[in-house]
Chain A
Amino acid sequence: MEQKKLRNGINRRGFIKGAALTTGAFAALGSIGTKKAHSAALPKKWDMESDVVVIGYGGAGACAALEAARAGSSVLLLEKMGMPGGSTTLSGGIVLAAGTKLQKSVGINDTPEAMYKYLMACGQGRAVPELVKLVCDMSSENIDWLAGMGGVFTQELLAMSGMENEPEYAAVTVPQKRGHRVRGTGSALFKVLADAVKAEKNIKVLTRTSGTKLITQSTKAAANLEVAGLEATSRGKTILIKAKKAVILTTGGIMPGEEAEGWLKDYSPDIAKCVAAGSPSSTGDGYKMGISCGGALKALNTGGTLPCLLFPGAKMAGIVYANIWGLPNIYVKTDGTRFCNEGANYTLVSELMFQKNATTAYCVFDAATVKKTFALVEKGIEIQRTIALGINPENLDDQVKRGFLYKGDTVAELAKAIGIDAAALVKTMENYNLNAEKGKDTEFGRTKALEPLKTAPYYAFKINPGLVCHDGGLNINTKAQVLDAHDRVIPRLYAAGRDAVGIFGGRYPASGAAITDLLTFGRLAGKNAATEKAWS
């Protein structure tokens, strides 16, 4: 009976225990689950086989599959959804990199060392130095790699995408523009990878197929069991897949939601309160499979959080880009007062949303801001239509009707439409407008897009802190191999993207951090998996 339970994978309780044990003190989880599993025999018959099996066809999975296939391995690339892309497709399509040709072409003298200093400062003492160093060193080459497959990074989209300019970080290293962006955001970036995958004969893609359980076998050489294959659910059927060289976990970490309830909440209450802004297919599958054979989880209480807009009834939220694109607005709490410098970096703003009891807040703006948004869209910045403001500027009235945009001919009427105190909002707006006219925000020190909001009608939409990616994940080494609680390798198991802890530890550093991380470890996982000797 005990064996049967183990074969069926870990239960939730075990998962919580594993997670709790490993992040803080790294207790010996690895040795708990593995001993009993020794006796579980390998399946007599496999339904499919491949040298390398990559679970999760988002950015990290695509990179891993490409490198493994190019090194001569056969690759089976599994995707849970009907379409590949995951959170990478939903992203802004930014890659954080230093010392690139593009930077040089516009006279930016940046180095991987400077980027390292910045990322380590963001890691707040918990980021793993050798992993961070690797990512910084490889970042420029990763841009070239993407460019070689058709990714076009342009000068006008090169931007400072994180907190580099905030005093705390500017003191550590000179702020530089490191956010390399492709035209057409994340979907365009992912298309570069997907087109390359399509062209690769060694890669077979299976959509609507998710990994459910890793199958292990014992070896004389290693302390841990080695991964031999997996059980997957493919279009409703259970199949057994033999992985002759390795399995690579790239399932995208975890998003707040049903699956995350119960453990994300205990562990990281702030992140559990976030609305999901990454792919809803990220349900911790990689974590669960990883810890089921001894993998240790790290830094689970970190994540990329931003002010987001949750469309009623939708499973996932959109990012509010208004302040990234310099559009005038204010954020108010449910009591009608402001709580932050809205123009500050999104990581800092979302931290304040938690600290100042503003996990439900409203982004308030006027007709002049709407006009400016139109102008941005017309300028052809190729931002996704809906993200300039968080809403689609083309059909405002329709959005009012559908209930996610509030409108009022006066500020008081807007407050009434939202359902917050009218006098308070009127006072807040008066104060803000006075400050904006004087050019000095005496309350919160806003400098970016400090412009009066005085043109009727007035609009607002609800904002919540949202999670674009969960930063913690399985502990890995510089080869992207999954490690147990004693930093021992779990043979033939790799992880990358948000299934691995990668460069993270503290604050989310900048837009493009998760993608530069997935490029590095996805590619490394693929290359290294391909060098494993096939078992038979």
Chain B
Amino acid sequence: MKIKKVAPVLFCLLVFLAAGRLLWAEARLDMSKAGVKGGNCASCHGQDKVLSKGHVDTKAMNWEACRACHTRDNLSLTGKLPNSHHHLLAGVGCIECHGKTKKPEVLDMDKCVSCHGSTDGLAQKTKDIKPTNPHTSPHYGTDLDCNLCHHQHTRSENYCAECHNFDFKTP
């Protein structure tokens, strides 16, 4: 009955970790109100090493500055960073999308479309992508929610791959 003895200890440890995680998330939110800078990794990630070893200091950088080294063909960042980073680096902070709130809500695609334009227009722009246009489909037309593929706070995914073998690299 070793488990019986260990279980309470494990439980306490879990509670402790969960609480820590919550506090950390809260801290992140507080900082967002103070105006997070996209290039200042530590403002959200704290002491975590999030950049590769020897990476130049990014504190003062914006999206354009990143693009000086990271092009589409060389050191591409496609799919590497959750899209909130792109937004932050381009000067679009938490409040621009979520508004001034303590409890940011999940947003629907109307918010994306309000800046990025209609999905019909987007589908036009990507009509020549092979093997097929990722922004329209016989099943859903141009109605698919952007967030099914393009995530802001986690790694993006290729929703088509639920059924198809389209090898899209999702930004």
Cβ-defined contact, B138 with A402, below 8 A: no
- B139:A85 contact, CB within 8 angstroms: yes
Nearest CB of chain A from residue B21's CB, rounded to whole Å:
14
B123 within 8 A of A: no
Tally chain B residues at the interface, Cβ within 8 Å: 15
For B131, B141, B143, B144, the residue with the greatest tally of chain A CB atoms inside 10 Å of its CB is B131
If the complex has contacts A82-B159, A398-B131, A402-B131, are A311 and B164 also in contact, measured as CB distance less than 8 A?
Answer: yes
Confirm or deny: B11 has a beta carbon within 8 angstroms of a beta carbon on chain A. Answer: no
| Minimal Cβ-Cβ distance residue in B for A313 | B165
CB contact under 8 A between A314 and B163, given known A83-B148, A398-B131: yes
**Contact partners of B30 in chain A: CB under 8 A:** none
Interface status of A107 (Cβ within 8 A of chain B):
no
Does B4 sit at the interface, judged by CB under 8 A? no
Q: Roughly how many angstroms separate A378 CA and B143 CA in the complex, as a whole number?
A: 24
Chain B 148-171, CB-CB to A under 8 Å as 1, else 0, gives 100000000001001111000000
B139 touches A89 (CB 8 A): yes
B165 close to A187 (CB less than 8 A): no
Q: A312-B165, A314-B163, A315-B162 are in contact. Are A83 and B138 (CB under 8 A)?
A: no
Q: A314-B163, A315-B163 are in contact. Are A83 and B140 (CB under 8 A)?
A: yes
Q: Does B145 contact A (CB under 8 A)?
A: yes
Decide if B139 touches A187 in the complex (CB within 8 Å): yes
Q: Would you call A187 and B164 a contact (CB within 8 A)? A: no
Indicate if the CB atoms of A82 and B130 lie closer than 8 Å: no
- In contact, B139 and A280 (Cβ under 8 angstroms): no
User: Can you list, as one digit per residue, whether each of B132-147 has a CB less than 8 Å from chain A (1) or not (0)?
Assistant: 0000001111011100
* Neighbour of B141 across the interface among A82, A187, A279, A281, CB < 8 A: A187
Question: Which residues does chain A contribute within 8 Å of B159, judged by CB atoms?
Answer: 82-83
CB-CB < 8 A to A337: which residues of B? none
Which residue in A89, A280, A312 is a CB contact (below 8 Å) of B162?
A280
Taking chain B's interface residues, is the majority helix, strand, or loop, or is none over half, making it mixed?
Answer: loop
Q: Within 8 Å CB of A138, what residues of B?
A: none
A247 to chain B, nearest CB (A): 25
Size band of the interface chain A makes with B: 20 to 34
Closest chain-B Cβ to A365's Cβ sits at a distance in Å of: 22
A387 to B, closest residue via Cβ? B138
| B138 close to A386 (CB less than 8 A) | yes
Smallest distance from the beta carbon of B18 to chain A beta carbons, Å?
Answer: 13
**Do B141 and A280 have beta carbons less than 8 Å apart?**
no
Interchain CA distance A316-B163 in the complex, whole Å? 6
Roughly how many angstroms separate A185 CA and B139 CA in the complex, as a whole number?
9
With most chain A CB atoms within 10 A of its CB, the pick from B139, B141, B143, B148 is B139
By the criterion CB–CB under 8 Å, are B131 and A83 in contact?
A: no
Q: How far is the CB of B148 from chain A (nearest CB, A)?
A: 4
Asked if A385 CB lies within 8 Å of chain B CBs, one says yes
A280 to B163, CA, bound (A): 7
CB distance from B139 to the nearest CB of A (A): 5
A81 within 8 A of B: yes
Residue pair A81, B165 in contact (C-beta under 8 Å): no
**Out of A82, A187, A311, A314, which one reaches B138, CB within 8 Å?**
A187
Q: In angstroms, how far is the closest chain B Cβ from the Cβ of A13?
A: 26
Taking a contact as CB atoms under 8 Å apart, the answer to whether A83 and B165 are in contact is no
- Distance in Å: Cβ of B115 to nearest Cβ of chain A: 22
**Complex CA–CA separation, A316 to B161 (angstroms):** 11
A449 at the interface (CB under 8 A from B): no
A82-B145, A83-B144, A398-B131 in contact; A185/B163 too (CB < 8 A)?
no
Tell whether, in the assembled complex, residue B163 and residue A89 are in contact, meaning their CB atoms are under 8 Å apart.
no
Given A398-B130, A398-B131, the answer on whether A187 and B140 have CB atoms closer than 8 Å is yes
User: B148, B159, B163 — which one has the most chain A CB atoms within 10 A of its CB?
Assistant: B163
How far apart are the CA atoms of A75 and B141 in the complex, in Å? 27
Q: How far is the CA of A316 from the CA of B166 in the complex (A)?
A: 13
Is A436 in contact with chain B by the CB < 8 A criterion?
no
A384/B148 in contact, CB under 8 A:
no
Interface status of A348 (Cβ within 8 A of chain B):
no
Cα A454 to Cα B10 in complex, Å, equals: 74
> Which residues on the A side are within 8 Å of B164 (C-beta)?
311, 314-315
CA distance A279 to B144 in the complex (A): 16
Tell whether A85 pairs with B140 under 8 Å between CB atoms, given A280-B163, A314-B163, A398-B131: yes
User: Are B144 and A311 closer than 8 Å at their CB atoms?
Assistant: no
- Chain A's closest residue to B157 (CB) is A82
Residues of B within 8 A of A424 (CB): none
**A314 CA / B145 CA spacing, docked (Å):** 22
CA distance A209 to B138 in the complex (A): 24
Contact A311 B165 (CB under 8 A): yes
Known: A187-B139, A398-B130. A82 touches B163 (CB 8 A): no
B119 vs chain A, min Cβ distance (A):
14
A382-421 contacts to B, CB under 8 A, are 384-386, 398, 402
Residues of A within 8 A of B140 (CB): 83, 85, 89, 187
- A90 interface contact, C-beta 8 A: yes
Chain B residues whose CB sits within 8 angstroms of the CB of A83 once the complex forms:
140, 144-145, 148, 159
User: Contacts of B163 on A, CB cut-off 8 Å?
Assistant: 279-280, 314-316
Q: For chain A, residues 66 to 86, give those with C-beta under 8 angstroms from any C-beta of chain B.
A: 81-83, 85
A-B contact pairs, 16 of them (CB 8 A): A81-B162, A82-B145, A82-B159, A83-B140, A83-B144, A85-B139, A89-B140, A90-B139, A185-B138, A187-B138, A279-B163, A280-B162, A281-B162, A313-B165, A315-B164, A385-B138
Taking A89-B140, A186-B139 as known contacts, 6 extra A-B pairs with beta carbons closer than 8 A to each other, sorted by chain A number, are A82-B162, A83-B140, A85-B139, A89-B139, A187-B139, A386-B138
Q: Which 9 A-B pairs have the closest CB atoms?
A: A313-B165, A384-B138, A82-B148, A314-B165, A187-B139, A316-B163, A89-B139, A315-B163, A314-B164
